[in-house]
Structure formats: C-alpha cells, structure tokens
Chains A and B, each alone.
Chain A
Amino acid sequence: MSKDPQPYGDVSKMMIILSKATIDNVYACFILANGARMEGIEAEIFFTFFGLEAVNKKKLNHLKVATVGNPAMHIPTMLGGLPGMESIATNMMKKEMEKLDIPPVDEFLEILSASGVKLWGCKLAMEMFHLEREDLLDELDGILTVGDFYKRADREGTHMLFI
C-alpha cells in the first residue's frame, strides 16, 4: 500500500551541489539526482567550481577518476602519479559501469534533463574560470547565484547535498 505523503519527514526535493569533477563524484551526483526522479522526488543540480567541468561541452566526456590521494584505489601514490594511470583506472571503471547499464556522462546528462532534473551553472565559478554560457551544455536550465539556488528550496521536505 503506498502511503500518503507526510507533511514532514518525507523527501520531496533533492538539491545537489556538485563542486568536484572526478568521475566518481560526478556519477554519485547524477545517480542521486536520477534516483530521486525515479521515486517521484524533484531534483536539481548546482554545478560550481570544478563541478562545472561536468557540464562543460569540451570537458564532460573526458572526466577522470583520481588515482593520487585516493586510498580506496589501492595503488601506491607514487604509481598513481605515473603518466597514463588516470586513464587506465578511468577506463576500467567505465567498463564496469557499462555492465550495470550506467550511461556515459553526456548521455546521463540528457537522461537527467529529460527526467525533469533542473541543471544550473554557478555564476561566480563561471566568471572565475572565464566560462561563457555557450561553453556549457545546451540543456543547462540557467546560470544562478547561490542565493537564487537557495530560493528554489521552496517546499517542506527539501534536502541539500554538497558533493
């Protein structure tokens, strides 16, 4: 029996701030946003700082996993710093994800947009990185300040996540 939505407690909207561009962080953000929509929960993503790379047309299909300073990779930091290590690790990860039907970044962004996830660029970070609107994905819903983004937390059950 599906229960009626409660005025308090239930998640009604997920607002996710993505500040990193390593592919594991980007996928965590995308899967959380998509998973929300699949449950009928609203979702929005605010791309800021390095997170902007995930919606940068030239960069989004070349995101990498971090092989240095990442103990969970289980390779010595010295080896992780060797040329090509990031690409090897990233390709291995992408293969595993494809097996689970997890789409590549560009297709994932299309899915998110088609699913009704609002995608926002951070105005200040864009100025900092000298990015123009046309550098970013066409599906982007707009450029916001932090204040604009907070204002979109307009209902009970809104939750914010910083990645």
Chain B
Amino acid sequence: MEKIIANQSINVNDEGYLTNHSQWNREIGHAIAQEEGIEMTDHHWKVVDYLQEQHKNDVPLTIRRVGKSGVVDIKGFYELFPKGPLKTSSKIAGIPKPASCI
C-alpha cells in the first residue's frame, strides 16, 4: 500500500514498514519517528545508520548484537526507543521488521 510520508508517496506494508528501502531518506525517517512519538537526536541517527549498514550486509538484527555494536548499549537502546527498540528503530530506518525473538 502507499502512504504519504513527509509529502512523499511511499510504499509500506500494513504495519507501516517501508517495502522499498530505496524510497527512504532522512525526512521520511524523521516523519516516521514523529508518528512513533520519538524526537530524533544524533544518537538516534547513529543507531539508524548502524541498522541500515547491517541490513545492507544481510546481517540478521538482534537486541544482543545491537548491544554489542558499540553504537549503543541495551539500556540506552531502550531509552532511545522505549516502545520496542528494535522494531521502532527498524521502522524509522526504513528496513523490514526484524523477525527475531531475541
């Protein structure tokens, strides 16, 4: 389905995750973050950059791996994205919802 995000028509799935990552830009990320009630800071963007990098390299994302990334520890990750950090940050990063239970 299509959704207007930051005045651009973007393809998303029924949960609001981008289905075509090439449509992503920071404006889109910012708009999704606002919908999720998150005010983006430099630290938020660093996490988003890291997730996109991992996604590009086909590395499956888990909370444990993010916690060991050096970008943010697990406590900090929950502070940045309180309502489900991996889910929320992936949505903002324009990558698929992680299918991991850990």
Contacts and interface: CB of A to CB of B under 8 A. Distances in A.
B71 to A, nearest CB: 15
Interface string A85-111: 000000000000000111100010001
A27 to B, nearest CB: 10
B93 to A, nearest CB: 16
A114 interface: yes
Nearest to A101: B62
A39 B14 CA distance: 17
Contact of B16 (A1, A31, A107): A1
Interface in B31-66: 35-36, 60, 62-65
B15 A2 contact: yes
Contacts of A76: none
Interface residues of A, number: 18
B87 A39 contact: yes
Given A31-B101, A39-B87, A111 B15 contact: no
Given A1-B14, A102-B102, A115-B78, A38 B63 contact: yes
Given A31-B101, A31-B102, A101-B102, A38 B87 contact: yes
Contacts of B36: 2
B86 A38 contact: yes
B67 to A, nearest CB: 7
A85 B32 CA distance: 52
Nearest to B76: A114
B84 interface: yes
Given A39-B84, A114-B78, A2 B67 contact: no
Interface string A1-20: 11000000000000000000
A34 B102 contact: yes
A92 to B, nearest CB: 19
A158 B62 CA distance: 26
B83 interface: yes
A81 interface: no
Interface in A25-51: 31, 34-35, 37-40
Interface of B: 14-16, 35-36, 60, 62-65, 67, 73-75, 78, 82-88, 100-102
